Amino acid sequence: MPESDKSFDKEGLGNILLVAVSLCLVCAIVVSTAAVLLKPQQKLNQELDQKQNILRAAGMLPEDSNVDPQGRSIDELFGQFTVRAVDLRTGRFTDEVDPASYDPIKAAKDPARSMELSDTQDIATIGRRENVSLVYLKESEGGVDKLVIPVRGYGLWGTLYGYLAIEGDLSTVAGLGFYSQKETPGLGGEVDNPAWKAQWHGVSLFDQSGKPAVRLVKSRSPEGSMAAGYEVDALSGATLTTRGVQNLVQFWTGDLGFGLFLENLKSTT
Ligand SMILES: Cc1cc2nc3c(=O)[nH]c(=O)nc-3n(C[C@H](O)[C@H](O)[C@H](O)COP(=O)(O)O)c2cc1C
């Protein structure tokens, strides 16, 4: 080795450590800069995704397109909705939270902003229910045109999160869609099958006494009968997911969900 290279031993421990630490530092800077720079875009994408899910549940956006048949974009279509906060304890609108930044699912984890459900109350197996939730209202001169509510409940493998869209009569389903679920593809995962989802359109939510009445059934009641109006086909080979979906729809349209709010809204429109 020439005399000049003796002082610089590139395979020495100190040098190896220096290179490793420098590389880690550079990578850490690159990753954190990317994370910070991409955060606003990620937030925008999340919001767009949420708008898309709400519009799909409401039947205003086809399953396979980002524009409606008239060519209107997600933002344009979602602009027809007003987002309002609702106090689920009173069934009334509230200004207690800012709907633009409020997260009902986060609130449900906070004992100060949610209630613990007893076993008999907790038919959707969610543990706690937030005090305040959000609704998405599409209004026209004649009153409510469509109302979309967030819903969630346990299936077989995890919680299904979605939106239930209700027609202006506040009693008939416009559509149901899940944006997050862990059920098995081909079994419980069929909750995402467009053909199964299409059956929800027109289903009656409440019986004559106003109680949640939706049933997921293996064999349908005779066509034209009152019972048939509440029915959707069960998912074959997925009894547990089916039960979960029935329970979550019944929970969120019941007194502990949006039931009081729906009653109040009916009486004011
Ligand atoms: C690998 C595997 C995955 C399953 N995934 C689901 C599921 O996502 N949802 C569900 O309800 N049942 C699922 N099941 C079936 C349940 O264990 C149970 O047998 C079923 O819900 C009974 O439905 P059936 O009465 O319609 O046959 C799965 C079973 C296996 C073996």
- pLDDT, tens digit, 9 for 90 and up, residues 83-142: 999 999 999 999 999 999 999 999 999 999 999 999 999 999 999 999 999 999 999 988
To the nearest 5 percent, what fractions of the chain are helix, strand and coil? 35, 25, 40
**Binning pLDDT at 50, 70 and 90, where does residue 23 land?**
very high
Query: Rounded to whole angstroms, how far apart are CA atoms 174 and 59?
Result: 7
Lowest average pLDDT, out of 4-13, 78-87, 127-136, 179-188, goes to 4-13
Substitution candidate for ligand 1 out of 156, 157, 178, 196 with most atoms within 8 A of CB: 156
Taking CA atoms only, the protein residue closest to ligand 1 atom 3 is 184
Report DSSP letters for 160-171, one per residue: EEEEEEEETTSS
Average pLDDT of every residue of the chain: 94
First to last CA, the chain: 92
The pLDDT of residue 127: 98
Is 7's pLDDT higher than 70? no
- Reported as a single tens digit per residue, the pLDDT across 230-269 is 999 999 999 999 999 999 999 999 999 999 999 999 998 7
Substitution candidate for ligand 1 out of 157, 187, 216 with most atoms within 8 A of CB: 187
Supply the pTM of this predicted model.
0.88
The pLDDT of residue 145: 96
The pLDDT of residue 234: 98
- Mapped onto helix, strand or coil, the DSSP state of residue 195 is helix
Beta bridge partners of 151: 162
Residue range 211-226: mean pLDDT, rounded: 94
Query: Rounded to whole angstroms, how far apart are CA atoms 148 and 96?
Result: 20
Query: Rounded to whole angstroms, how far apart are CA atoms 161 and 141?
Result: 31
**Binning pLDDT at 50, 70 and 90, where does residue 5 land?**
low
The pLDDT of residue 64: 87
State the DSSP code for 5: G
Taking the CB of residue 55, how many other CB atoms lie within 10 A of it?
28
The pLDDT of residue 2: 52
Domain assignments of the chain as residue spans, ordered by start: 15-57, 79-268
Residue 26: φ, ψ to 5°: -60, -45
Expressed in angstroms and rounded, the spacing between residue 133 Cα and the centre of ligand 1 is 32
**Binning pLDDT at 50, 70 and 90, where does residue 194 land?**
very high
The pLDDT of residue 9: 74
The pLDDT of residue 4: 52
Token readout for 27 is 């990578």
8 A C-beta contact, residue 249 and residue 214: yes
Taking CA atoms only, the protein residue closest to ligand 1 atom 4 is 184
Percent of the chain with pLDDT over 70: 97
- Helix and strand numbers (H, E) in the chain are 6, 10
Provide residues with CB under 6 Å of ligand 1: 156, 183-184, 187-188, 236-241
Residue range 38-52: mean pLDDT, rounded: 90
**Binning pLDDT at 50, 70 and 90, where does residue 8 land?**
low
